[in-house]
């Protein structure tokens, strides 16, 4: 008898898994204990073990696709066995039509409403949908940054067909089907939800519209309650939702004027270097695409002051939110409105730290920054005050014995937090080298999941931007975050005498559910001792 293989819950926070690699294929004979696939969870890539003896009859998920916990991944049974009932079982539960029919005089309209879904037979369609894969643990949707293939192109398994902007980085979208690119469902700059259709690949002439109709069919089931109206005529027009699909897509495009801007990668890079806004530049390439030559020839003074100016036209630009910006908004809003925060600020005398940095840079193989010194001192302080290095987990507090410091890095689209692991055990030279490497990867969108996961505490430094003092929002589930201001030369007083000194302000944001005022103050005091007398960090 055929058995379903479902997506197991592989971590305490896992909601879904992404098939990273299939190690078996349909038709293979497998046994209990065999590893049939690799699954990417929110924590790591793990092996999926099979517990049934038989033949792998059906694989329901392609590589790169996400499956919710307990969702169907595959079916194992005997060769030739009919397993269609196992796949149809979940759909049967979503048929409330008979209940609606009980309230209407005639059952016929309900039957007509339900009919379109089963009549969409895709077995003869020689085409396959390419869907948006889940490329990061927090990804909800991806934005098509650039298409590398066009409708009509012949593509193969392994071809890179597009670049997708996620909330973490811009990544390549790999194709897994041989055929012709028949349909592109999202323009450059448009967002597609995870598992949404991006494109369709198949044989030339294949009726791919049926795939799009099948995708829309579950949504068109919503009008069924309309069958309670006296007249059955509206039910007879059930295909109408399919007709309305095109106007909806047009509205989405029209609501994102920024998505229509076309520019080559070289043009974008050059415009950024020169500080030009691409919206100011007229593109001479195909379809109005801005080229490198357009940027080079652009004269920013052409829009300068005009002595004869008599009036102007108000204008604005709507810029679609990037995936990174959406995730920042969602995660920090959750933290801000769920954690009862309080703030502790302390002044640090940086005179000795400035002298120590000069000495260290004379002997160490890498240049040490003040941020490196703050990270090192913070890591050592966290080791002494583990309560500050904790997670709030609703039913418990997890006190982390290891110190993984997240280093907030400003990038063009927002903020990334790469992680320096085991920072309390590393030398300041190791921290400096790693911070520079991770910072470079963040700015170039080259970070991988292992680079941003697992932080137990975060340091955010805006001192290099001339900010004296600020507060940060906690990066949940962490309990605290440290905001670092710039070093400012000021006047101090000692024994009635004025003298020049250098002060830096640190502000600790604390989740009061975990950290009390005295606990946070004790941590800051230890951190102050390390920074005001740096030799203590090396004893």
Q: Which positions are annotated as active-site residues?
A: 512, 516
Q: Which helix or strand (DSSP H or E) is residue 212 part of?
A: helix 209-220
For residues 145 and 188, give the distance between their C-alpha atoms in angstroms, rounded to a whole number. Answer: 5
The contacts of residue 278 (CB under 8 Å, 6+ apart) are 261, 263, 267, 268, 271, 290
Select from 346, 353, 349, 399 the least CA-distant residue to 524.
346
The C-alpha angle 384, 374, 537, rounded to 5 degrees, equals 55
Provide the CB-side half-sphere exposure for 386 (13 A, CA): 6
Q: What is the 3-state secondary structure (H, E, C) of 43-88?
A: CCEEEEECCCCEEEEEECCCCCCEEECCCEEEEEECCCCCCHHHHH
Write the CA distances from 26 to 35, 123, 143, 307, 476, integer angstroms. Answer: 14, 17, 32, 75, 42
> 92-101 burial, b for 16+ CB within 10 Å, e for fewer?
eeeeebeebb
Q: Are 17 and 41 in contact (CB under 8 A)?
A: yes
């Amino acid at each position: 008898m055929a058995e379903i293989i479902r997506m197991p819950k592989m971590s305490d926070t896992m909601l879904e898994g992404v098939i990273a690699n299939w190690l078996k294929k349909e038709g293979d004979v497998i046994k209990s204990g065999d590893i049939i696939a690799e699954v990417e969870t929110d924590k790591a890539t793990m092996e999926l073990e099979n517990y049934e003896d038989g033949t792998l009859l059906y694989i329901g998920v392609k590589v790169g696709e996400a499956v919710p916990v307990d969702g169907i991944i595959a079916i194992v049974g005997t060769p030739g066995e009919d397993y269609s009932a196992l796949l149809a079982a979940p759909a049967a539960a979503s048929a409330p039509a008979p209940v609606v029919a009980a309230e209407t005089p005639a059952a016929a309209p309900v039957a007509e409403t339900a009919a379109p879904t089963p009549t969409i037979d895709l077995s003869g369609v020689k085409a396959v949908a390419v869907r948006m894969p889940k490329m990061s643990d927090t990804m909800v949707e991806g934005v098509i940054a650039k298409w590398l293939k066009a409708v009509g192109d012949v593509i193969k398994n392994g071809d890179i067909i597009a670049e997708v902007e996620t909330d973490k980085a811009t990544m390549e979208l790999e194709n897994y089907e041989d055929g012709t690119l028949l349909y592109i469902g999202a323009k450059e700059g448009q967002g597609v939800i995870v598992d949404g259709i991006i494109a369709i690949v198949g044989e030339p002439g294949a009726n791919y519209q049926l795939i799009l109709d099948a995708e829309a069919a579950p949504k068109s089931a919503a009008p069924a309650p309309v069958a309670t109206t006296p007249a059955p005529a509206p039910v007879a027009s059930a295909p109408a939702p399919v007709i309305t699909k095109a106007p909806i897509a047009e509205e989405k495009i029209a609501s994102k004027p920024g998505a229509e801007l076309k520019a080559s990668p070289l043009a974008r890079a050059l415009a950024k270097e020169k500080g030009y806004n691409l919206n100011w530049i007229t593109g001479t390439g195909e379809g109005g695409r801005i080229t490198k030559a357009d940027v080079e020839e652009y004269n920013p003074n052409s829009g300068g002051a005009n002595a004869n100016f008599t009036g102007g036209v108000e204008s604005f630009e709507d810029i679609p939110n990037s995936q990174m910006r959406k995730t920042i908004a969602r995660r920090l809003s959750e933290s801000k409105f769920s954690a009862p925060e309080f703030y502790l600020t302390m002044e640090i005398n940086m005179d000795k730290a400035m002298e120590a940095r000069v000495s260290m840079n004379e002997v160490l193989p890498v240049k040490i920054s003040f941020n490196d010194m703050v990270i090192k001192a913070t890591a050592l302080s966290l080791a002494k005050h583990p309560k500050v290095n904790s997670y709030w987990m609703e039913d418990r507090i997890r006190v982390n014995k290891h110190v993984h410091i997240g280093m907030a890095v400003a990038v063009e689209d927002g903020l990334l937090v790469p992680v320096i692991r085991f920072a309390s055990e590393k030398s300041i030279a190791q921290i400096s080298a790693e911070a520079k490497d991770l910072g470079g990867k963040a700015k170039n969108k080259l970070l991988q999941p292992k680079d941003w996961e697992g932080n137990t505490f975060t340091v955010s430094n805006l001192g290099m931007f001339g900010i004296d003092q600020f507060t940060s929002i906690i990066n949940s589930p962490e309990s605290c975050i440290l905001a670092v201001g710039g070093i400012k030369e000021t006047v101090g007083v000692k024994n009635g005498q004025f003298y020049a000194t250098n002060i830096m302000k640190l502000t600790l944001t604390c989740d009061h559910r975990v950290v009390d005022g005295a606990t946070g103050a004790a941590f800051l005091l230890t951190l102050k001792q390390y920074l005001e007398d740096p030799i203590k960090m090396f004893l």
